[in-house]
A and B are shown apart, each in its own frame.
Chain A
Amino acid sequence: MLSASDLRKGLKIQIDGQPYIITHFEFSKPGKGQSLYRCKMRNMITGNQFSQTYRSNEKFEKPALEERKMQYLYNQGDEYHFMDTENYEQTFITREQLGENVSFLQDNMELDVLFFDEKPIDVTLPIFVNLVVTVAEPWAKGDTSGNDTKPVTVETGYVLQVPPFVVEGDKIQIDTRTGAYVTRVKE
């Protein structure tokens, strides 16, 4: 059981049998008054958000979450299909559940899928992915226009800012936590 003093942004708690993740957290304590733990949280299955303020004596259950290693196979419309690398069972996650992670999914990529009550609810990508640049304006050697970065598109359709010397066909490493360019990758 978790107590109110454990509450923080990113913590997962169970309310009414549903898993929630705390998206905003603020500790308040008016002078001489009670400690108040103000949380905004998101239902990890439905995506619904709500706010609640808790007091010091409240207790919380940890949701029964399980992480499994899976491999991304393909997508069919808004359904993204994954296979458990141990028992080969397949499941799918919706585009909405994946959120921004969709930009970094590569065929056969291995990642961690979070399950609650046998239902997949979230994915954790590897920190770095290597993706091929599919659209980029050519770089003119000696270009002294002074632009620090330029936008390029990678194989997943994701667009990001990169240094001007990156060209179409280059493979680049991207930090999935921030969506930012890290470096070019040699084949």
Chain B
Amino acid sequence: MLEIKMLHQRAAFFQAIRRFFQGQGFLEVDTPVRQPLVIPEQNIVPIPSAGHFLQSSPELYMKRLLAGGCEKIFQICHCFRSGERGRLHLEEFVMLEWYRLDCGYTKLMGDCECLFEFLESRVTPWHFPVSLCTPWQRITVEDAFHKYCSMTPAQALDQGIFDLLLVEKVEANLGDKTPTFLYDYPLELASLARSKVENPGIAERFELYVAGVELANGFSELTDPVAQRARFMEEYAGMENFPEGEKKMPELFLKDLGKIESAAGIAMGLDRLFMLISGQGSVDDAVTFAPDDLDV
């Protein structure tokens, strides 16, 4: 169980995040945690809940809110992912997501810089491992692979070792002096992101790294329902042994998606961010009750 001092710090942390977004004119929303159908993603296994699923992200409903006319929304909520457990992973964790209409991923990167600067003055003690001096470092996936691996992202994908190389060769080098944005991912690694106009094989997606720890995933949203449907089918195709008859499409979501012209959204792991701010070595030491501290 977190000690009292840290409970206060964690509360101040959440308070400050809310203050930041309220100050920026964002609307705080809450959406269903338990959903009948979840977005198909090859590498995310949702946790079932009596015929439904616990959300692995509130994205589905956040985007429907955008379609409903909300221009700037944010949410802090619990998300769930099966089989993800380690120093930086909990099956149940706290996520912050925010979305903007009529914006691209670059705007979100600016949001991150402003958010952290805002937090620094309001969450104490501040043990963040790197300086927040702007502008933060930015490097494309192509350049990062060129610099740290002996092959291109495309070659790595072909050989099925993109994730391996990312984890073993690239990540540890990111975010060592300031937080770093790793951006412009191959399109096949961003099923919900819009591709670059000038380079359709690349998605406008970025990940934020601090001291080798992945903190956030943001992108310019894909808003074409036809393309999105096709991408969902590809995701299902990549899921081994997924019964053909269960490959359902989120129709209400796809219908609403068509109402959005352009938008950008980002998901940030708050347990990890708090872990870094409070100087802890693992997420277990940053959450109120760690899994080992629960009655079984």
Write the residues of chain A forming the contact surface with B, with a CB cutoff of 8 angstroms: 5, 26-36, 38, 53, 56-57
Contact = CB atoms under 8 A, between A and B. Distances in A.
Contact of B166 (A5, A26, A33, A57): A33
A27 B87 contact: yes
A31 B85 CA distance: 14
- B41, B43, B89, B189 — which one has the most chain A CB atoms within 10 A of its CB? B43
Contacts of B25: none
B86 interface: yes
B43 A34 contact: yes
21 contacts: A5-B83, A27-B85, A27-B86, A27-B89, A29-B43, A29-B84, A29-B86, A30-B166, A30-B171, A30-B214, A31-B207, A32-B43, A32-B190, A33-B162, A33-B167, A33-B189, A34-B43, A36-B163, A38-B167, A38-B168, A53-B164
B191 to A, nearest CB: 8
A35 B89 CA distance: 11
A5 B84 CA distance: 9
B43 A28 contact: no
Given A29-B86, A32-B217, 9 more contacts: A29-B43, A30-B167, A32-B190, A33-B43, A33-B162, A34-B163, A35-B43, A36-B167, A53-B168
Nearest to A36: B167
Contacts of A27: 84-87, 89
Interface string B145-183: 000000000000000001110111001000000000000
Contacts of A34: 43, 163
Nearest to A27: B86
A26 B88 CA distance: 9
Contacts of A56: 83
Interface of B: 41, 43-44, 83-89, 162-164, 166-168, 171, 189-191, 207, 214, 217, 240
Contacts of A5: 83
A38 B162 CA distance: 15
A56 B43 CA distance: 10
Nearest to B84: A29
Contacts of B164: 36, 53
B160 to A, nearest CB: 9
Nearest to B216: A31
Contact of A28 (B44, B86, B190, B240): B86
Contacts of B189: 32-33
Contact of B84 (A26, A35, A38): A35
A32 B56 CA distance: 11
B163 A33 contact: yes
Contacts of B43: 29, 32-35
B86 to A, nearest CB: 3
A27 B86 CA distance: 5
